[in-house]
């Protein structure tokens, strides 16, 4: 799920402090240029002085004058240390599989640069400045799907980025053209750097890939969970459900913030609905709506609270300086802060939430299509049932996606495969958790879009009863985008993709907010 880039993004200036979620999104998706503040450069220089002093000392220091991982016991002579750094990056750039998305690579590059800007890694300023220049010029190293265990950081993905700083490997330029890194650098007036003591290690030892994907997922899910509230409201209305169960006094009896927010959204979206008003009188013999309608705030609210927990973890990680060893004062210390468990856990947690929200959405769609449960609508919302199939197979598509989302909800972070001759005997698999969450977000987008599409058709079929102003605005949005109302069967896949685009871009939420104001 992506959002359209802004016309002219402003420069993101990195300081020794935390980078914001908004800045990550601006650089990753909008192509915002990046600069290092004077304060950041001063801190980089101070840390570099510490590393150079240790490099000149006779006593071995891990990461500065030794090998790495299980080879850390070997002391490396001064004249071989540049080769050590080159060898480290080249050997660790061992990714395989499909190319990772540009926005993910830009996010991980920015987050690695943010750690360099803290003044705790010991690189020279020209290394950090070249990384910033790659982002500014839109040069994106080719990173592959497989290669990170999420411990010692996202080693292989970051190594492919470090390789580009050396003028090696393959990149895409700002236009997306694939080319050698050296050619891309030269085309914008840049030259490669020769890495010195500790610099190769500092460029590859962080949780930046998994964290970048977490930040992007948070941005997407904030919109998606509002979209799920809109879709649920449309289904409640189309299925002649009641809005009374969403009253604030009832939500307050179970004081979870997410439940209150979702219930408030549903109440506001359904306000002034002619459909809801039509069955509010004493003649209504409906006692309780099905769980997929009545309990929407419980599921959507739990997902919202999960999102907020994940956001707090992301904020802490965005304030971190992750490297090993790390420069602290006038010394370098080994540590385990590169372990991806804190990020991996919440990535998995969000995949669970996405699967459950999608599961409930699909159940509402199925109910709208079932003549036995949809309270007077035609089977499958078909124009001429039997001749026409209506939205029958759109629900199949939802069901296939939901099944996939349930498989993606199986945690990656509980797995561990020992590596590096048992030196790295417990790993986080956070990168894997992040990759599957991206697929989960895409799947949830598609499921919600199909619910919106189906509920809009059902609302049209309720005429002359009128939907609420908010849900009516969504129906109008779909119709204005070329999705026709009820009628004989037609090619449905293009309509689904149009609806997916409207949900992913936030247009569905914007249509509601333009009508009734900001949703929670």
Q: Which residues are catalytic?
A: 62
Say how many C-beta atoms besides its own lie within 10 A of residue 222's C-beta. Answer: 17
| HSE-CB for 121 with a 13 A CA cutoff | 31
Do the beta carbons of residue 216 and residue 103 sit within 8 Å? yes
- Phi then psi dihedrals of residue 15, to 5 deg: -115, 175
Contact 132, 188 (CB under 8 A): no
Helical residues (DSSP H) of 199-340, grouped into ranges? 199-204, 208-238, 248-251, 257-270, 274-277, 291-294, 296-318
Q: 328 forms bridges with which residues in the sheet?
A: 331
Encoding tokens for residue 372?
A: 């036995």
Orientation of helix 155-165 relative to helix 208-238, angle to 10°: 120
CB 54 within 8 A of CB 65: yes
d(CA 409, CA 422): 29
Name the DSSP letter for residue 206: S
Q: In what order do the strands lie in the sheet with 170-172?
A: 140-141, 170-172, 178-180
Beta-strand pair 34-36/12-14: parallel
Percentages (nearest 5) of helix, strand, coil residues in the chain? 55, 5, 35
Angle between helices 507-516 and 469-480 (to 10 degrees): 140
Q: How far is CA 239 from CA 180, 189, 234, 235, 364, in A?
A: 57, 62, 9, 6, 9
């Amino acid at each position: 799920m992506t959002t359209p880039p802004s016309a002219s993004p402003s420069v993101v200036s990195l300081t020794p402090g935390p980078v914001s979620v908004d800045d990550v999104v601006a650089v990753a998706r909008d192509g915002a240029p990046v600069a290092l503040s004077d304060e950041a450069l001063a801190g980089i220089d101070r840390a570099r002085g510490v590393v150079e002093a240790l490099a000149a000392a006779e006593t071995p220091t891990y990461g500065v004058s030794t090998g790495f991982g299980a080879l850390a016991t070997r002391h490396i002579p001064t004249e071989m240390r540049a080769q050590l750094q080159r060898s480290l990056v080249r050997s660790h750039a061992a990714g395989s599989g499909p190319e990772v998305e540009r926005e993910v690579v830009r996010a991980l590059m920015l987050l690695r640069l943010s750690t360099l800007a803290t003044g705790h890694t010991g690189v020279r300023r020209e290394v950090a400045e070249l990384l910033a220049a790659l982002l500014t010029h839109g040069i994106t190293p080719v990173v592959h799907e497989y290669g990170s265990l999420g411990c010692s950081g996202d080693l292989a993905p970051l190594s492919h980025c470090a390789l580009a700083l050396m003028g090696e490997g393959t990149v895409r330029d700002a236009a997306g053209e694939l080319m050698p890194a050296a050619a891309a650098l030269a085309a914008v007036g840049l030259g490669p750097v020769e890495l010195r003591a500790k610099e190769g290690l500092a460029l590859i030892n962080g949780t930046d890939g998994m964290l970048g994907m977490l930040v992007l997922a948070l941005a997407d899910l904030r919109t998606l969970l509002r979209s799920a509230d809109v879709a649920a409201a449309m289904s409640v209305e189309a299925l002649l459900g009641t809005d009374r169960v969403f009253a604030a006094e009832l939500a307050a009896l179970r004081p979870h913030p997410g439940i209150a927010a979702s219930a408030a959204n549903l109440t506001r979206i359904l306000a002034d609905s002619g459909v809801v008003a039509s069955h509010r009188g004493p003649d209504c013999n409906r006692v309780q709506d099905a769980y997929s309608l009545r309990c929407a705030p419980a599921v959507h609210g739990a997902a919202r609270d999960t999102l907020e927990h994940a956001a707090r973890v992301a904020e802490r990680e965005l304030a971190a300086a992750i490297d090993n060893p790390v420069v602290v004062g006038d010394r370098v210390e080994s540590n385990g802060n590169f372990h991806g468990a804190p990020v991996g856990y919440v990535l998995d947690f969000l995949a669970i939430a996405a699967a459950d929200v999608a599961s409930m959405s699909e159940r509402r769609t199925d109910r709208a299509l079932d003549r036995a449960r949809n309270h007077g609508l035609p089977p499958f919302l078909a124009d001429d049932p039997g001749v026409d199939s209506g939205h029958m197979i759109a629900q199949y598509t939802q069901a296939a996606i939901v099944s996939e989302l349930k498989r993606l909800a199986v945690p990656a972070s509980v797995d561990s495969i020992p590596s590096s001759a048992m030196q790295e005997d417990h790993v986080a698999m956070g990168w894997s958790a992040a990759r599957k969450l991206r697929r989960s977000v895409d799947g949830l987008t598609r499921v919600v879009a199909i619910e919106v599409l189906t509920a809009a058709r059902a609302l049209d079929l309720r005429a002359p009863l009128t939907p609420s102003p908010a849900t009516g605005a969504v129906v109008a949005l779909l119709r204005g985008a070329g999705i026709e109302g009820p009628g004989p069967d037609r090619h449905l896949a293009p309509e689904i993709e149009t609806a997916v685009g409207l949900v992913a871009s936030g247009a569905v939420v914007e249509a509601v907010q333009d009508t009734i104001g900001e949703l929670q």
